[in-house]
Homo-oligomer: A and B are copies of this chain.
């Protein structure tokens, strides 16, 4: 049921959408080395199946705590050659602002579909899910304090090393 939201949430929503599209474009372009720059120093990044997320289980496919772990992950992906070349494309729904906390953090959510194309193959839907996010503002810009990618189901991929 639509509730009355504070008026400044509309601008916040639009700003988050711009953040999300920049994030997606960076990953879609294969610039995984820039991926950590969307996060705060102490950020948490997770990918979890919906069944586990709904049950409150911490078990996930990917868990990174702190920008060091995000950078290690980005570096590992950038260097790896085991991994067949593929194109990714994110299609994002609009963002929903859910809450603003006393510490200035903003909870938000957005649906996504992630498409994957291996060379000379048909495009497949790799996963659909939603981002559950917590943003902080740093020097005027939004950064992710937490991004939790909760997928409904995914094609179990040889290597879901790439960030969502």
A residues adjacent to B (C-beta < 8 A)? 1-5, 10, 13-14, 17-19, 21-26, 28, 34, 37-38, 50-51, 87, 89-96, 109, 111-113, 115, 117, 119-123, 125, 127-130, 140-142, 152-155
Contact = CB atoms under 8 A, between A and B. Distances in A.
A89 B130 contact: yes
Given A89-B129, A94-B21, A115-B113, A155 B26 contact: no
Given A18-B5, A21-B94, A125 B123 contact: yes
> Which label, helix, strand, loop or mixed, suits the secondary structure of the A interface?
mixed
Contacts of A121: 153
Contacts of A115: 113, 125, 128, 152
Given A87-B152, A89-B128, A123-B154, 15 more contacts: A1-B22, A1-B38, A2-B23, A2-B38, A4-B141, A5-B18, A10-B14, A13-B18, A21-B93, A28-B111, A89-B152, A90-B111, A91-B113, A92-B94, A123-B128
